[in-house]
Amino acid sequence: MRLEQIQAFLAVAETGSFQQAAQRCGVTQSTVSRQIQSLEVAVDLPLFHRGAKAKLTLGGEQFMPRARRICQEWKQALDDLDVLRRGEQPELCVAAISSLCAHDLPPILEQFSQDYPRTQLRVTALGSDRALKVLRDGLVDIAIVMNNPFLTRNAEVAVEYLYDEPIQVLMAANHPLAQLQMIPWTDLARYPQVVFKDGYGMQRLVQEQFNLQGLELRAAVELNTLDAFRGMVRQGQSVALLPQMALADARADDSLIIRDLAHPQLSREVVLVTTHDRLQIPPIKHFCDLTRRFLAQSHGTHILPASF
């Protein structure tokens, strides 16, 4: 059963004439006759009484309301796709790392809202690995995260490099390591660590680096908010490895101190991830372009041509 057969059926039923139905459908009368015959073969019932005027049989009357719904659904589907193609989608969903949501993302959101006032933004702060999974599941349109090649190595996925962000050490101002300007990894391993929960790329990055150094990561507490990190570290002995942007509020706190790592220093690569089909949608493409431009300015990187 094909859509053009159903459309021909409705045209004959509504005009009572194969000839008028052919004119409405823009085909020949013989084409309409073949389409109706094929449809009757498919349903194994006659749908019309043939005569001076084509009239519905009992089977045709039974089929009529469903045929109308099928054609209405098809028209609605085409209308919805046209809205999408014109960039009139009602919402755009973004998942991003927490520190970026708090600092770099607001001006991007503000500019986008001015450019696309009819598109509602829905922004969720998630760990990088979790954000990539919800993107894969189709729950968000864009993820701005720490890169994880294991989750982005897919022909459907489009990955755009944004910037590299240094990782630094957060500790209490009276911590024994505070007297050092750069913290060696061997000294760092002597103290309990406050780490991100599973699903955050930072947990994986820190654990991998400790493994590379042949050191044990003494994970004392798993947290998922920056306020909780500051509160826990402020207690005394624990330290935390955090991205530079995540430490913005800690810099104004006299009870905390931030130190750089000694060699090898550590950084995370922040990327924008979406899918190639989503880049064909004007608001999504525009949001990606805004993000590249704003973050290049705020992080002092060059605005490179999009690699999508």
Q: Are 288 and 302 in contact (CB under 8 A)?
A: no
Q: The dihedral of CA 250, 252, 257, 260: what is its sign?
A: positive
Lowest mean pLDDT among 66-75, 78-87, 121-130, 176-185: 78-87
Q: Is the pLDDT of residue 304 over 60?
A: no
Q: Is 101 helix (H, G, I), strand (E, B) or coil?
A: helix
Whether 65 and 123 map to the same domain: the answer is no
Joined together, the tokens standing for residue 174 give 């009276």
Q: Is the pLDDT of residue 229 over 70?
A: yes
CA distance 221 to 238: 9
Specify the pLDDT at position 85: 75
- Whole-structure pTM value: 0.75
| CATH number of the domain within which 235 lies | 3.40.190.10
Amino acid at 230: R
Q: The dihedral of CA 72, 74, 80, 85: what is its sign?
A: negative
Q: What is the total count of domains within the chain?
A: 3
Whether 190 and 212 map to the same domain: the answer is yes
What confidence category does residue 236 fall into, taking pLDDT thresholds of 50, 70 and 90? confident
Residues 57-87: tens digit of each pLDDT? 999 999 999 999 999 999 888 887 887 777 6
Residue 264: asked if its preceding bond is cis (omega within 30°), the reply is: yes
Range of the domain at 283: 91-163+269-299
CA distance 199 to 97: 11
| CATH number of the domain within which 70 lies | 1.10.10.10
Lowest mean pLDDT among 20-24, 80-84, 165-169, 218-222: 80-84
CA distance 244 to 166: 6
Of the two residues 99 and 1, the one the predictor is more confident about is 99
Which of these three, 85, 113, 134, is where a domain ends?
Answer: 85
